[in-house]
Structure 1
Amino acid sequence: LAFGAFLFADVYLIYYLLFSDGIILNIFFPLLTIVVIGAVAILVNYFFEIRQSNVIKNKFASKVSAKVMEDLLKNEDNSLHGQSKEVTVFFSDVRGFTNISEAMPNAKALIEYLNEYMEPMSDIIMKNEGTIDKFIGDAIMAYWNAPSDVKNHQDKAVKASLEQISYLKILNEKLQKENKPLIDIGIGLNCGVAVVGEMGSSGRSDYTVIGDPINLGARLESLCKFYDSKLNISNFMKESLKETYIFRFLDLVKVKGKTEPVEIWQVLGFGTAEAKLKEELDAYHHAIEWYKASHFEKALEAFKRLESNPLKTNKNIYKMYIQRCEHYIQTPPENFDGVFEHTSKG
């Protein structure tokens, strides 16, 4: 635009001198200079855009799907700038990884084994428009709605998580045939406003997310083993979901480092519960209501019936509430609010 205005001004000046004062100027060299300057400016701008595109490609090539990358390149002006934004964060971890690593014959075999698990898990996240943040040993951290906007990002994170859990059945069948250790995972999901952007030093930086919602997501994943759950979400996450899922309430807790209680929910699958699972969940949630209302004797009876079911779908949760009810019957609490405080991360 500036180049066009400058060219127009030059032509107007020549025209004015010619027809007002009868002065004829040699315009070849001035025009040549203008054209050269314009061409250089266009080239500089072109190479700057190429450089910006390469920066984005280098940062996100292995983190996002081709579709997300295309969106980033179209809207690259603010892609890497720090900002506060609502995101959904994902943490997953392989259960008993220390024992698995000890069972491997050598480091090469362990890496190949891990990659056999990591690759399909990463593909599922990216297929559902997630961004891979990092791999930490056997753990994966990912997030949705950054750097580019993702519609219904909470549902897409749950969908990806359930798809991973489902795919593990296929992978474990293959591992069993190869006489390799089977893989079991725990996943934690949370959503909230976090800080997203390029972080680090001048020598080494990365695009990532930080904040309380991220820390809570990590806590939820670490509590999967405690509750015998494969997929834990917070009440913030549950309230944001648009699709229908099968849920089990797990606990109302204060996690380490937090003062406000958080509801933890287990996601069992898509749709609605049917048949035996529906009966079990209905009976369990009735028992939870008695527990919350301090009717510990009634709750205890219900939890014991659930625990005695040989086809129960959770190995830990009923025992946990039986122990709590027995404790509160022996030592009645004052002003019971149903909150349990976790003093450790796991």
Structure 2
Amino acid sequence: MANEHQWHTSYWVRVGSLAICFFVTAQLSTTVLNLEAAASPLWPPAGIALAALLINGQNLWVGVALGAFWASLADQVPWELSLVLCFGSALQALVGSYFFRRRWQHSLQLYSWRLDDLLAFVGLGVMVTPLINAVYSTLIGYGFGVLTRAQLGQNALVIWLGDGMGILVLTPLLLAIAAGRQRKIPWRISSYWELGLCLGMLVAISAMVFGAQTDSAIAKYPLEYLPFPFVVWAALRLGLHGTTLASFLVSVIAVTGAVHRGGPFITKAEGNLSEAMLLLQAYAAVISITALVLSVVVTERQQSNAKLARSEASLVKAQRIAQLGNWDWSLGVNEKAIKPIKPGEKNLLSENKSLVWSDELYSLLGYPIGSVPPSQSLFLERVHPADQQRVGLAWNVALNHQKPYRLDYRLLLPDGTERTVNEHVHIEPNHITGTVQDITERKQTEAALRETEALRATMYRYLSQDLAEQLLDSKNTRLGGARQFVSILFADIRSYTTLTEQLPPEEVVVLLNRYFETMVDVIFAHRGTLDKFIGDAIMAVFGSPIPQADHAQRAVTTALGMQQQLAHFNQQQTNQGLPTVQIGIGINSDDVITGNIGSSKRMEFTAIGDGVNLTSRIESATKYYGCPIIISENTYALCKETVWVRELDYVCVRGKRRPVHLYEVLGMRSHPLSGSQQEKIALYKKGRTLYQQQNFNLAIEIFMELLRQDPTDQATRLYLERCQQLQKKPPKHDWDGSWQLQEK
């Protein structure tokens, strides 16, 4: 409600202001100028009314009607007639503003006027719209008996001319002022003194010409067009603000002079005021229309130039951003062809006035902008020596055979910087245009992309896809290595030599590929890294290159999964009448050096170190003990809560002085062991304890009991043989219970 009340208050304030303005200007046109309304050559209220409705909206027509009503009453017109006449001015302003708003799409676009817009304003606003009030007021006057039939034409003509001149002179001025404030358009002048000088001289000359008395010598000469150069000055230099103001000042001074019986028009009319007014109207129309046409044409041209300048600036900016320069070569009639360039020759033109370089091309070539005249030889100086002949030959073919080309080559700048550019040349009959774009970053990106794709393809061979992408995202693909605590897995086919003797080489390859494919899938499923294939052996790493807190658990789970998949693999082999495969798996957790190791031309992700060697020895021990999976004490310590094991032995492997505990993996604790299995594990542990205490007699009894329960237990058989051997040849007194393994 408050907003609605505020809107109503604002509306009536604007209506009242317009009514007062209409009334005051009407009084100035009649009372102050001492003219009768019927004889006014310039009726400013008509221009004010149309401008007000264009600027502030058509709902202000009430203000026009109210102002016209007051003006009629002030001229001693009966109130009944005044009430009817006032709607003529309002209707005229309404119709004119309606058509102009439709043409200008409901907005003031005075500073976007083109010549056809100006002609539409003159035709519709100055000539057609005033007919509404002229016809309406004349008919109303005749209806009320104020006018006779003989006076109808004369009265309509006077009103039409007066309203038309008011619209022509005053409406553009008010629109220019309003548009300037609304769009914050500055006066288009080089300095304020030019405005003062132009308008001051215009006023002085106009006052001298139109203020001269009829009996003076100056009034006898046709000097009415002396102000015209200053109006043209305003049109060319001061924009629409200055043009409309200059036209308004000339018209007002001319009317004022004529009212006071001065100026050339009174002289030419021999004192006849009506004839002088017609001459004055024609003069004002010529002055105003000419000035507006000049100003609109100049403004349109300046806007085109400004648009062109913005486009050129945008082009320069775009070229700078895109690192794209261009050259243009206008070929004259006697333009000589470029001879093919041979190594060591410089036979290009040193200077070519028909060749033009863009600013960005200067920058690309390493020359300060405009510092040197464009020439083929200077261009070629910046081309890499290895590419100069190729570029020169391309130019020669383009000029002599009219053949366009695209060419990538290198530039060598004075500071030693090497850049790669792409040149694209377009041929016309007498014109050659070329663009030169710096594509160094693109080439580097393409090379990096190729390297990344090659690296990705390589990583996919030994890493799961998600692990490879994670590693690539981390940007950790540099040469070199890092010390990491990881779990290493070795898996080897037992009796591989015998297997190769049973099958032709082609079938051996097929079998190995199928076997490797099956095992690698299991490794990748647990996010392991395929380190390498070593003959028939597989080496995998867990916890590198992406660290994994549960790498030992993953390695053991992978080993169990490999044994399960091996059972399915062997079933397929049996179904096809092919030999089966048995493998041994060794796992160790230790500090190793991991990373991309190799040369820049060939590298592989691998792990090296003593921990890797120990893992290989543990895997070899699987055949010795007859166990499918053996892990080291380090691995067992990391996952003892989740796996079932049998503490297998305490041994020194070849190449190691410190003994290591070995454990046979029996399964995951998520799958409980049977009672008999647990009894065997306990009995085996008791036998090993007696063995380490050097109580070999009791240990032999335990191991013999185990063999009676499971004659295939190779580890128990080994301990039985050791006990029997140590009975004959007891160990030293400082023996720690370890055994020296001889297997590699």
Which of 567, 584, 591 is matched with 1:169 structurally? 567
Q: Distance in 1 between matches of 2:466 and 2:313?
A: 50
* 2:608 is equivalent to residue 322 of structure 1: no
Secondary structure at 2:461's aligned position in 1? coil
Aligned amino acid, residue 240 of structure 1: L
Question: Which of these residues, 509, 520, 525, is aligned with residue 122 of structure 1?
Answer: 520
Residue number among 452, 456, 463 corresponding to 1:57 in the alignment: 456
In 1, distance between residues paired with 2:574 and 2:696?
A: 44
**Match for 2:727: what amino acid?**
I
**Deviation string for 1:168-198 (max 9, x for gaps)?**
2222122112111111100111111111122
Q: CA deviation at 1:267?
A: 0.5
For 2:577, the equivalent position in structure 1 comes to 179
Report 1:125-274 matches (<5 A). Answer: 125-241=523-639, 243-271=641-669, 272-274=672-674
CA distance in 2 between counterparts of 1:177 and 1:45 reads 54
Q: Could you tell me whether the CA contact under 8 Å between 2:587 and 2:619 is conserved in 1?
A: yes
* In 2, Cα distance between equivalents of 1:77 and 1:307: 53
User: What letter corresponds to residue 87 of structure 1 in structure 2?
Assistant: V
Distance 1:77 1:100, change over 3 A: closer
State the SS of the aligned residue for 1:133.
strand
Normalising by structure 1, we get a TM-score of 0.84
Using the alignment, how far apart are the partners of 2:485 and 2:667 within structure 1? Answer: 25
Describe the superposition over 1:217-267 as per-residue Cα deviations: whole angstroms up to 9, x where unpaired: 101011111000111111011111165211111211111111111111111
Aligned AA (2:675): A
1:107 equivalenced with 2:393 (yes/no) = no
Q: Is 1:336 matched with 2:735?
A: yes
Residue 278 of structure 1: aligned partner: 678
Retained in 1: the 8 A contact 2:471–2:477?
no
8 Å Cα contact 1:251/1:264 also seen in 2: yes
- Distance in 1 separating the partners of 2:575 and 2:451: 48
Letter in 2 for 1:254: C
Q: Describe the SS at the equivalent of 1:221.
A: helix
Q: For residue 492 of structure 2, give the secondary structure of its aligned residue in structure 1.
A: strand
- 1:69 deviation in Å? 1.6
- Cα separation, partners in 2 of 1:91 and 1:235, compared to 1, 3 Å: same
SS at match of 1:294: coil
- Distance (whole Å) between structure 1 residues aligned to residue 500 and residue 313 of structure 2: 78
The residue number in structure 2 matching 1:10 is none
Deviation at 1:51, TM superposition (A): 4.2
Q: 1:292 aligns with which of 680, 692, 699?
A: 692
Equivalent position of 2:362 in the other structure: none
Question: Which deviations, in whole Å up to 9, do the C-alpha atoms of 1:303-322 show, x marking residues without a partner?
Answer: 1100111x45x531111111
Could you say if the C-alpha distance between residues 57 and 113 of structure 1 is closer, same or farther in structure 2, counting changes exceeding 3 Å?
same
Provide the rounded CA distance (Å) in 1 between the counterparts of 2:719 and 2:484.
37
Conservation of the 8 A alpha-carbon contact between 1:79 and 1:147 = no
Shift in CA distance, 260/37, structure 1 to aligned 2, threshold 3 Å: farther
Decide whether the 8 Å contact of 2:477 with 2:596 is kept in 1. Answer: no
Quote the residue 1:36 is aligned against. 322
- Whichever structure has more strand as a proportion of its residues is 1
The aligned counterpart of 2:706 is 306
1:254, 1:45 → 2: CA distance? 54
Counterparts of 2:507 and 2:444 in 1: how far apart (Å)?
49
Residue identity matched to 1:94? I
Distance in 1 of aligned mates of 2:558 and 2:476 = 29
Cα 1:112/1:167, change in 2 over 3 Å: same
Task: Tell me the distance in 2 between the aligned counterparts of 1:148 and 1:67.
Answer: 11
Matched residue, 1:69 = 468
Cα distance in structure 2, aligned partners of 1:165 and 1:49: 41
Change (3 A) 1:46 1:141: same
CA drift at 1:89: 0.9
Q: Report how far residue 158 of structure 1 moved.
A: 0.6
Give, in angstroms, the shift of residue 112 of structure 1: 1.2
Partner Cα distance (2:677, 2:683) in 1: 10
Distance in 2 between residues matched to 1:188 and 1:79, nearest whole Å: 30
Instruction: Please say if residues 479 and 598 of structure 2, whose CA atoms lie closer than 8 Å, have aligned partners that are also in contact.
Output: no
**TM-fit CA distance, 1:150:** 2.5
1:61-105 deviations in whole A, cap 9, x for unaligned?
11111210221122124565411111211111111111111111x
C-alpha separation between the residues in 2 aligned to 1:66 and 1:242? Answer: 30
Asked whether the 8 Å contact 1:256–1:343 carries over to 2, the reply is: yes
User: What percent identity do the matched residue pairs reach?
Assistant: 30
Q: Which consecutive unaligned segments of at least 5 residues does structure 1 have?
A: 1-25
Distance in structure 2 (CA, Å) of the matches to 1:277 and 1:340: 25
1:96 and 1:210 map into 2 onto residues whose CA distance is 26
State the one-letter code of the partner of 2:676.
K
Counterpart residue number, 2:4: none
For 1:14, the equivalent position in structure 2 comes to none
Segment of structure 1 superposing worse, 28-37 or 76-85: 28-37
1:253 alignment partner, SS class: strand
Deviations, residues 196-221 of structure 1 (Å, cap 9, x unaligned): 12222444321211001100010101
Measured at CA, do residues 37 and 295 of structure 1 come closer, stay the same or move farther in structure 2, by a change above 3 Å? farther
Amino acid in structure 1 at the alignment position of 2:469: E
Q: Where does the alignment leave 5 or more consecutive residues of structure 2 unmatched?
A: 1-311, 325-437
Look up the equivalent residue of 2:736 and give its one-letter code.
Answer: D
Q: Is the 1:80–1:147 Cα contact (8 Å) retained in structure 2? A: no
- Residue range with higher mean Cα deviation, 217-226 or 170-179: 170-179
Aligned CA-pair RMSD: 2.5
Equivalent AA in structure 1 for residue 701 of structure 2: E
